[in-house]
Structure 1
Amino acid sequence: MAALLLAGTTLIGSPAAAAAAPVTIAYAQRTQTWQLVLTNGDVVEVPEALAKAPKNAVTPGERAPFLVSGDGKHFFYFRKSDGLFVERTLNGKERVVSRRLTAYTIYEEWPAVSDDGSYVVTTTSAPGVGIFADLRKGKVLPPPGHTDAWSFMGFSSDGKRLLLAEDERLTVFDRGLRARTRLKTRLAPTALANDYVTAAVPVGTWLKSRKLRLVNLRTGRASGTVTVQLPRGQYIDDLDFDKAGRVIVRSKTGTGVAFYRVSAATGKATLLRTIARPDAEVWVLPGDSPYEAWTERKGRA
């Protein structure tokens, strides 16, 4: 199937093809340029998206992040014309996320996007946080407490809350960066449920974890550790909650990625779906962070 060209403000192709285009993105892939693969199988080229950091960047030649929101409706990239990080929908105009976030900082600053595509947070190599951009309001907010010493742990699955850590303190913030819940703990959760209280914590060596536990961010009470019953050779590569508050695990397989619903009580893993890896150098699923375990054909050294 021939690729459509995404440029300017609308899809360029036949009127029938544009009218039939679905509203969601199945995944993005990079061959010579970045492309969107839609849920109906159409391929849409994004010629304005940088593939690699430019020569004047901190890390020239490194892969340029390309993100798709968890709902599959928004995509984000560093554009070639000026290196700014922008947001798009399939039939929408580019919106600059923040003029402080440029291609110069690729691989020194990592953007994370809420599931609804309306909020962007960056973490940095400092370590710490960079920007908090609320795209609905068109505002870039200063870090809470005017310090960048926070570690960003993740969004709630509805995108209305942000989980940040500072030393041994976890704080749940709303989108205006007002603190809602605080807890002192040594646990490091990476996912927040829509009750804004329940968080999931991977247990074990990073990228080799098969265990998790839950923690109540209001009381500090943690569940026992459970082993997720994944197939041999698979691990917890990404941990999240669905809208109903059930734990979701994504795990790299030999042919792509598998999605599981996991019982936090027993560790039983129910396979929801699998996605086969396309024949592309890099691919990105909705909800991915910039550098997931499955994004490149070969793992980074």
Structure 2
Amino acid sequence: MRFRAALATLLLTAATLIGPPAAAATPVTIAYAQRTQTWQLVLTNGDVVEVPEALAKAPDDAANPGAPAPFLVSGDGRHFFYFRKSDQLFVERTLNGKERVVSRRLTAFAINEEWPVVSDDGSFVVTTTSAPGVGVFADLRKGKTLPLPGRTDAWSFLGFSPDSKRLLLAGENQLTVFDRGLRARMRLKTRLGSMALANDHVTAAVPVGTWPKYRKLRLLNLRTGRVSGTVTVRLPRGQYVDDLAFDRAGRMIVRSRTGTGVGIYRISKATGKATLLRTIVRPDAEVWVLPGDETYEAWTERKSKSQK
């Protein structure tokens, strides 16, 4: 009896000392970036981090002096990119990391002539150009800039898959899926454009209508060429499909400019029903950038106008 009592006391004491396992802390990421006098990061915990080393505008000796300098945040909210003032190179950073040069070929001289696009995990950068065409393909995991696919810049870059393992590009009457080494994995002859590539690396979303007032879409199978019927996206009156993507689970996500900022919706592939996931109110800043934004999005500037 004494042994059992002692053992019970020991177990009770251990349970009291150890207690229930603590819940894993939610990692702090970037909620959005904004530019007032300088660039700032607003974090998900409410903290604000200054980035004074980031250029706000193209320098006087650039191709387009005074043009707004790109500042991008990866879709996962962990990486941010900017042209730095010291040498005007385009660099990548994490909240607790050091600057890494993306490519020495991408400098502030090319602002508003080249537009960088960042993969969701922040590990790959592609630039589109005013040619039109593409410029730099930089794989930051390997720390190198890759030669152009097919040794030509005559491509339109359409986007990354959510897992950042594939890139979708359009050539003349052709869509091609490339891996990170820019090896062609799938080709389809088609006149259809696309706005997003799913994580199955086969399904692409095709907007229907005239930019910027997209409200309909179709799904395209890049392996078979089969196209789904047209689905009307049932957004609130006066809103349009400003940005379309797939999440990692294959669901369609639409971002749409609202009167106060941006609304984020999950879209039914079958019916077009739009389920509001969240709204983000535009801060009182000259410019703001959400994770996953490209150089220009409909909601970034105070007035909706393209910088291209």
- Give the whole-Å Cα distance in 2 for the aligned partners of 1:32 and 1:116: 28
Per the alignment, residue 22 of structure 2 pairs with none
Q: Contact conserved, 1:84 with 1:102, CA < 8 A, in 2?
A: yes
- Give the whole-Å Cα distance in 1 for the aligned partners of 2:135 and 2:26: 35
- Give the whole-Å Cα distance in 2 for the aligned partners of 1:188 and 1:200: 9
Mapping for residues 134-149 of structure 1, pairs under 5 Å? 134-149=139-154
1:35 aligned to 2:40? yes
Q: Deviations over 1:136-176 (max 9, x none)?
A: 00010011111010110000011000000101110000000
- Give the whole-Å Cα distance in 2 for the aligned partners of 1:28 and 1:85: 17
- Give the whole-Å Cα distance in 1 for the aligned partners of 2:38 and 2:172: 40
Q: Contact conserved, 1:22 with 1:40, CA < 8 A, in 2?
A: no
- Give the whole-Å Cα distance in 1 for the aligned partners of 2:115 and 2:167: 16
Per the alignment, residue 200 of structure 1 pairs with 205
- Give the whole-Å Cα distance in 2 for the aligned partners of 1:300 and 1:123: 18
Shift of 1:218: 0.2
Other structure's SS at 2:55 match: coil
Task: Name the count of aligned residue pairs.
Answer: 282
- Give the whole-Å Cα distance in 2 for the aligned partners of 1:151 and 1:144: 12
Per the alignment, residue 90 of structure 1 pairs with 95
- Give the whole-Å Cα distance in 1 for the aligned partners of 2:105 and 2:141: 18
1:169 aligned to 2:169? no
Q: Contact conserved, 1:191 with 1:200, CA < 8 A, in 2?
A: yes
TM-score, reference length from structure 1: 0.92
RMSD between superposed Cα atoms in Å: 1.1
Residues 22-31 or 236-245, more deviating? 22-31
Q: Contact conserved, 2:159 with 2:168, CA < 8 A, in 1?
A: yes
- Give the whole-Å Cα distance in 2 for the aligned partners of 1:300 and 1:171: 30
Q: Contact conserved, 2:242 with 2:256, CA < 8 A, in 1?
A: yes
1:228 aligned to 2:240? no
Other structure's SS at 1:145 match: helix
- Higher-strand-fraction structure: 1
- Give the whole-Å Cα distance in 2 for the aligned partners of 1:33 and 1:196: 39
Shift of 1:182: 0.4
Q: Contact conserved, 1:22 with 1:38, CA < 8 A, in 2?
A: no
Q: Deviations over 1:38-85 (max 9, x none)?
A: 001111000000001111111111110000000000000000111100
Q: Deviations over 1:180-227 (max 9, x none)?
A: 010000110110000000000111111111111100000000011111
Q: Contact conserved, 2:28 with 2:45, CA < 8 A, in 1?
A: no
- Give the whole-Å Cα distance in 1 for the aligned partners of 2:222 and 2:305: 34
Other structure's SS at 2:104 match: strand
Per the alignment, residue 246 of structure 1 pairs with 251
- Give the whole-Å Cα distance in 2 for the aligned partners of 1:76 and 1:127: 23
1:152 aligned to 2:150? no
What letter matches 1:212 in structure 2?
Answer: L
Match of 1:115 among 110, 116, 120: 120
Q: Contact conserved, 1:23 with 1:90, CA < 8 A, in 2?
A: no
- Give the whole-Å Cα distance in 2 for the aligned partners of 1:284 and 1:32: 15
What letter matches 2:285 in structure 1?
Answer: A
- Give the whole-Å Cα distance in 2 for the aligned partners of 1:44 and 1:152: 32
Q: Contact conserved, 2:161 with 2:197, CA < 8 A, in 1?
A: yes
- Give the whole-Å Cα distance in 2 for the aligned partners of 1:127 and 1:300: 19
Mapping for residues 1-301 of structure 1, pairs under 5 Å? 22-300=27-305
In the alignment, structure 1 segments of 5+ residues that lack a partner are 1-19
Other structure's SS at 2:137 match: strand
In the alignment, structure 2 segments of 5+ residues that lack a partner are 1-24
Q: Deviations over 1:89-124 (max 9, x none)?
A: 001000000000000000000000000000000000
Higher Rg = 2
What letter matches 1:152 in structure 2?
Answer: F
TM-score, reference length from structure 2: 0.90
